[in-house]
A and B are shown apart, each in its own frame.
Chain A
Amino acid sequence: MKSVHIENVTKKFGDVLGVSELNLEVKPGEFFTFLGPSGCGKTTTLRMIAGFYYPTTGKVYFDGQDVTTLQPNKRNIGMVFQNYALFPHMTVDENIAFGLQVRKLPKAEIRQKVDRIRGLVHLAQYGSRKINELSGGQQQRVALARALVIEPDILLLDEPLSNLDAKLREETRVEIKRIQSELGVTTIYVTHDQTEAMSMSDRIMVMESGLVKQIGTPQEIYHRPNNRFVATFIGETNMLEMKVTSIKEEVITVEHANGLVLHGLSGGKADGVAPQVGGTIYVSIRPEAFEAGPGDNTIKGTIEFVEFTGLSVNYLIRVNGTSLKAMIINGGSDIKAIGDDIELHIPSRNLYFLAE
Chain B
Amino acid sequence: MKQQVEYQTSWWSRAPRSPYFVYLLISPLFLILFAYVVYPFYSTFLQSFSGDDTLANYRKFFSLESTANLEALWNSVYISIISVICCAVVGVTMAFLLERYEFPGRRLLSVLVLVPMALPPLVGVLSFTFLYGESGIFPRFFQQLFALEEVPFSLKGIWGVVVVHTFTMYTYFYLTASAAIKGLDPSLEEAATSLGAGRIRVWRKVILPMLTPSIVASSLLVFMVSMASYTAPLMFGVERTMTMQIYLARTNGNLDMAATQSTILSIVSILFLLIMRWYQNRRNYQNLSKGVSVHRSEVTSKPLKTISIFLSFVGTLILILPILVLILISFSKDGAWTIQILPTDYTLDHYKALFTDERTWRPIWNSIQMGAVATVGNILFGVAAAYAMVRLSFKGKSLLDTLIMIPWALPGTVVAVNLIAAFSTESPFAFNQVLIGTFWILPLAYFVRHLPLVFRSTSASLLQLDQSIEEASRSLGAGWWYTFKRIVLPLTLSGIIAGTLLALVQSIGEFVASILLYSTTTIPLSVAIFQKLYAFKFGTACAYGVLQILLILLVLLISEKLSKGSAGSAI
User: Is B477 a contact of A83 with CB atoms below 8 Å?
Assistant: no
Q: Does A26 contact B (CB under 8 A)?
A: no
User: Is B472 a contact of A87 with CB atoms below 8 Å?
Assistant: yes
| CB closest residue in chain B, given A82 | B468
| CB closest residue in chain A, given B486 | A98
User: Is A72 a contact of B491 with CB atoms below 8 Å?
Assistant: no
A246 to chain B, nearest CB (A): 58
User: Is A99 a contact of B468 with CB atoms below 8 Å?
Assistant: no
| CB closest residue in chain A, given B470 | A85
Q: Which residues of B contact A103 (CB under 8 A)?
A: 1, 3, 477
| CB closest residue in chain A, given B469 | A85
Residue in A65, A69, A70, A85 whose beta carbon sits within 8 Å of that of B472 in the complex:
A85
Q: In the complex, what distance in Å separates the CA atom of A51 from the CA atom of B5?
A: 13
Q: Which residues of A contact B16 (CB under 8 A)?
A: 71
User: Is B1 a contact of A151 with CB atoms below 8 Å?
Assistant: yes
A46-75: CB near B (< 8 Å → 1, else 0) gives 000011101000000010011101111111
Q: Which residues of A contact B472 (CB under 8 A)?
A: 79, 81, 85-87, 146
Q: Which residues of A contact B5 (CB under 8 A)?
A: 62, 65, 67, 70, 74-76
Q: In the complex, what distance in Å separates the CA atom of A52 from the CA atom of B471?
A: 8
Q: In the complex, what distance in Å separates the CA atom of A62 from the CA atom of B466?
A: 28
User: Is A77 a contact of B466 with CB atoms below 8 Å?
Assistant: no
A135-168: CB near B (< 8 Å → 1, else 0) gives 0000000000011001100001000000000000
Q: Does A88 contact B (CB under 8 A)?
A: yes
Q: Which residues of A contact B473 (CB under 8 A)?
A: 87, 98
B453-496: CB near A (< 8 Å → 1, else 0) gives 00000000000001011011111111100100011001100000
Q: Which residues of B contact A87 (CB under 8 A)?
A: 469, 472-473, 487, 491
Within 8 A of A (CB), among B432-472: 466, 468-469, 471-472
**Given A74-B6, A76-B5, A85-B466, A99:B491 Cβ within 8 A:** no
Residue in B1, B17, B475 whose beta carbon sits within 8 Å of that of A79 in the complex:
B475
Q: Which residues of A contact B466 (CB under 8 A)?
A: 83, 85
Q: Does A108 contact B (CB under 8 A)?
A: no
A157 to chain B, nearest CB (A): 12
Q: In the complex, what distance in Å separates the CA atom of A105 from the CA atom of B5?
A: 18
Q: Which residues of B contact A248 (CB under 8 A)?
A: none
**Given A83-B468, A85-B469, A87-B487, A72:B474 Cβ within 8 A:** yes
Q: In the complex, what distance in Å separates the CA atom of A74 from the CA atom of B487?
A: 18
B234 to chain A, nearest CB (A): 47
**Given A67-B5, A74-B6, A76-B3, A102:B17 Cβ within 8 A:** no
Q: Which residues of B contact A67 (CB under 8 A)?
A: 5
B99-115: CB near A (< 8 Å → 1, else 0) gives 00000000000000000
B21-43: CB near A (< 8 Å → 1, else 0) gives 00000000000000000000000
Interface residues on A, range: 35 or more
User: Is B477 a contact of A99 with CB atoms below 8 Å?
Assistant: yes
Q: Does A78 contact B (CB under 8 A)?
A: yes
Q: In the complex, what distance in Å separates the CA atom of A73 from the CA atom of B472?
A: 10
Q: Which residues of A contact B491 (CB under 8 A)?
A: 87-89
User: Is B482 a contact of A77 with CB atoms below 8 Å?
Assistant: no
User: Is B471 a contact of A146 with CB atoms below 8 Å?
Assistant: no
Q: In the complex, what distance in Å separates the CA atom of A82 from the CA atom of B468?
A: 9
Q: In the complex, what distance in Å separates the CA atom of A74 from the CA atom of B478?
A: 8
B466 to chain A, nearest CB (A): 6
Q: In the complex, what distance in Å separates the CA atom of A342 from the CA atom of B474?
A: 61
User: Is B477 a contact of A76 with CB atoms below 8 Å?
Assistant: yes
A100 to chain B, nearest CB (A): 8
Q: Which of B7, B472, B486 has the most CB of A within 10 A?
A: B472
| CB closest residue in chain B, given A109 | B1
**Given A85-B469, A89-B491, A77:B475 Cβ within 8 A:** yes
Q: In the complex, what distance in Å separates the CA atom of A173 from the CA atom of B477?
A: 26
User: Is B476 a contact of A99 with CB atoms below 8 Å?
Assistant: yes
B74-87: CB near A (< 8 Å → 1, else 0) gives 00000000000000
Q: In the complex, what distance in Å separates the CA atom of A151 from the CA atom of B477?
A: 12
| CB closest residue in chain A, given B17 | A69
B21 to chain A, nearest CB (A): 12
Q: In the complex, what distance in Å separates the CA atom of A91 from the CA atom of B7?
A: 35
Q: Which residues of B contact A71 (CB under 8 A)?
A: 16, 474, 479
Q: In the complex, what distance in Å separates the CA atom of A74 from the CA atom of B482?
A: 13
B272-311: CB near A (< 8 Å → 1, else 0) gives 0000000000000000000000000000000000000000
Q: Which residues of A contact B468 (CB under 8 A)?
A: 81-83, 85
B464 to chain A, nearest CB (A): 10
B49 to chain A, nearest CB (A): 43
User: Is B490 a contact of A72 with CB atoms below 8 Å?
Assistant: no
| CB closest residue in chain A, given B472 | A85
A187 to chain B, nearest CB (A): 14
User: Is B1 a contact of A102 with CB atoms below 8 Å?
Assistant: no
Q: In the complex, what distance in Å separates the CA atom of A202 from the CA atom of B475?
A: 24
Q: In the complex, what distance in Å separates the CA atom of A67 from the CA atom of B475?
A: 14
Q: In the complex, what distance in Å separates the CA atom of A82 from the CA atom of B17?
A: 26
B319 to chain A, nearest CB (A): 39
| CB closest residue in chain A, given B482 | A102
Residue in B6, B478, B490 whose beta carbon sits within 8 Å of that of A98 in the complex:
B478
Q: Which residues of B contact A98 (CB under 8 A)?
A: 473, 476, 478, 486
User: Is A150 a contact of B477 with CB atoms below 8 Å?
Assistant: yes
User: Is A73 a contact of B17 with CB atoms below 8 Å?
Assistant: no
**Given A85-B471, A87-B469, A89-B491, A146:B476 Cβ within 8 A:** yes
| CB closest residue in chain B, given A89 | B490
A212 to chain B, nearest CB (A): 25
A164-200: CB near B (< 8 Å → 1, else 0) gives 0000000000000000000000000000000000000
Known: A88-B491, A99-B477. 7 other contacts (CB 8 A): A52-B471, A62-B5, A73-B477, A74-B6, A86-B469, A86-B472, A147-B475
The 7 closest A-B pairs by CB, nearest first: A99-B476, A85-B472, A85-B468, A79-B475, A76-B3, A102-B477, A72-B474
On A, residues with C-beta under 8 Å from B are: 50-52, 54, 62, 65-67, 69-79, 81-83, 85-89, 98-99, 102-103, 105, 146-147, 150-151, 156
Can you sample 10 A-B contacts with CB below 8 Å? Answer: A71-B479, A73-B476, A74-B3, A76-B5, A78-B475, A83-B466, A85-B469, A87-B472, A146-B476, A156-B475
